[in-house]
């Protein structure tokens, strides 16, 4: 086994802290300002960017890295709040579609400015354009080594 050097360990621990605290901070801001959890915001945002604000539940589970069971519970909560509705897929009734409602779109539109301001303050504005480009490139490089085929 090859142990981490002190420099590698310091860098790894910085990444671990970032993976722990950045989502927590974003989640706290969204809950405080919009009564949404980060994953709920993510689902609403994904639906808003989809054709006809509709996605198959299985595709939505994949892009949110949630099991279909977990996503079903989440979408059920969003349904109770009037943000999403579910319908059988008209092209293949074996699938269920999640559809963003007008109320869900309005909620997302109201949450977005505060969310984006917070994301800017935490990540975008503390890095130079070159640092931000490198961060995105490095994140993509790391993601290319993560096997997501077994998700869901």
Task: Write down the pTM of the prediction.
Answer: 0.89
pLDDT class of 150 with cuts at 50, 70, 90: low
**Which distant-in-sequence residues (6+ apart) come within 8 Å of 73 by Cβ?**
none
Question: What is the C-alpha to C-alpha distance for residues 4 and 126, in angstroms, rounded to an integer?
Answer: 28
**pLDDT (tens digit, 9 = 90+) per residue, 69-115?**
999 999 999 999 999 999 999 998 899 999 999 999 999 999 999 99
CA dist list (Å): 125 to 7, 91, 118, 132, 140: 26, 44, 10, 9, 20
Q: Does pLDDT of 149 surpass 90?
A: no
Say which DSSP state 120 is in. I
Q: Could you tell me where the DSSP H helices lie in 49-128? A: 57-64, 68-80, 102-119
**pLDDT (tens digit, 9 = 90+) per residue, 12-63?**
999 999 999 999 999 999 999 999 999 999 999 999 999 999 999 999 998 8
Domain range summary for the chain, segments of one domain joined by +: 35-111
pLDDT class of 152 with cuts at 50, 70, 90: low
According to the model, what pLDDT value does residue 66 have? 86
pLDDT class of 146 with cuts at 50, 70, 90: confident
According to the model, what pLDDT value does residue 28 have? 98
CA dist list (Å): 35 to 27, 89, 121: 10, 29, 20
Say which DSSP state 2 is in. -
Q: If we measure between CA atoms, which residue out of 125, 132, 139, 113 comes closest to residue 29?
A: 113
Cβ–Cβ under 8 Å, residues 62 and 72: no
**pLDDT (tens digit, 9 = 90+) per residue, 105-129?**
999 999 999 999 999 999 999 999 9
pLDDT class of 65 with cuts at 50, 70, 90: confident
Q: What is the dihedral of CA 18, 108, 30, 44, to 10 degrees?
A: -60
Q: Which fold has domain 35-111?
A: Arc Repressor Mutant, subunit A (1.10.10)
Q: If we measure between CA atoms, which residue out of 102, 40, 100 comes closest to residue 73?
A: 40
């Amino acid at each position: 086994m090859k142990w981490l050097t002190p420099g590698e360990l310091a860098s790894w621990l910085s990444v671990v802290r970032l993976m722990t605290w950045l989502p927590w901070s974003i989640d706290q801001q969204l809950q405080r300002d919009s009564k949404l959890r980060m994953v709920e915001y993510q689902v609403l945002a994904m639906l808003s960017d989809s054709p006809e604000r509709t996605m198959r539940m299985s595709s939505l589970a994949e892009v949110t890295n949630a099991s279909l069971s977990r996503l079903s519970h989440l979408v059920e909560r969003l349904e109770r709040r009037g943000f999403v509705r579910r319908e059988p897929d008209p092209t293949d009734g074996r699938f269920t579609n999640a559809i963003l409602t007008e109320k869900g779109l309005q909620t997302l539109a109201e949450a977005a400015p505060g969310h984006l301001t917070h994301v800017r303050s935490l990540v975008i504005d503390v890095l130079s354009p070159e640092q931000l480009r490198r961060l995105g490139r490095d994140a993509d490089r790391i993601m290319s080594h993560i096997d997501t085929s077994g998700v869901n």
